[in-house]
Amino acid sequence: MKNIAVIGAGTMGNGIAHTFAQSGFKVQLIDISEASLKRGMDTISKNLDRMVSKEKITEAQKQETLDNITTYTDVVEGVEYASLVVEAATENIDLKLKIFKQLDEACSEDTILATNTSSISITQIAAVTNRPSQVIGMHFMNPVPIMKLVEIIRGYNTSDAVTNTIMELSRKLGKTPTEVNDYPGFVANRILMPMLNESIETLYNGVAGVEEIDTVMKLGMAHPMGPLQLADFIGLDVCLSILNVMYDGFKNPKYAPCPLLVNMVRAGKLGVKSGEGFYDYSESRKAEHVAKQFIK
């Protein structure tokens, strides 16, 4: 497996492309937007510069990584020689189904199709293709070049051979693959999102403030960042989308999104990406200042 196509040049897509390219694979990074591709490549270059400055890689290794990536705005052209396609588009089921129908038609019959979805059913995605045994989930964690875990999600029809291939491939990337079955939220988000949602409920109910909630979890539970800061980092719109998928999938009220989360997403306060969430990021991308609406 030498040629890897990645669909989507956003945060997860460019991180996945970076990781494969740094491991010596030829990567075709695909996005319909030329501007998104430029931003994605700029991000990869800056992240590599950071690694050079920390002496984790050499300048030559940085250039080799960049040389391993070719960008495309045409999906059919980009996936022509791919042994594996990793879809990392927006967490939207209709968009993903459309992409997988297109990939199924454009890719060679032995190409494995993977999705980086964090919650959507692999079985449902696979069902729109003529190769359900070759469709699998590869849920990378953000930031992809740093985080070791990859959730490998088997759809109902995913073959043992494909699962074993992707598990071994993940190890070649220096990751720790963990096989899980196809249920809403898988393992990571099934456990994480209710915790984040409960932290928002705790704020919503006036039990404590933003900094207080985050401090309790950081110092009391040894979490590297507080749950409200983490929600801002993930994106409140992404958190809402995942909770909705789980609520629809299980019909269990414990997954129902907090009204505060719903209203913040409606208001466009999505966290780091929009400049404001539970914290104000207008001066820094670090969670240093609580957003005005939450200051007592």
**Active-site residue set:** 118, 139, 151, 189
Maximum Cα–Cα distance across the chain: 60
- Strands (E) in the chain, as ranges, are 3-7, 26-30, 69-72, 84-87, 112-115, 135-140, 149-154, 176-181, 279-280, 289-290
CB-based burial label for 236 (10 Å; 0-12, 13-18, 19+): buried
Q: What is the CA radius of gyration of the chain?
A: 19
> Are 256 and 164 within 8 A, CB to CB?
no
Compute CA distances 97 → 30, 128, 164, whole Å: 17, 7, 24
Straight-line distance from the first to the last Cα atom of the chain, in angstroms, rounded to the nearest whole number = 56
Helix (H) or strand (E) holding 192: helix 188-204
Do you find a cis peptide bond into 257, omega within 30 degrees of 0? no
Phi, psi of 47, deg, nearest 5: -65, -35
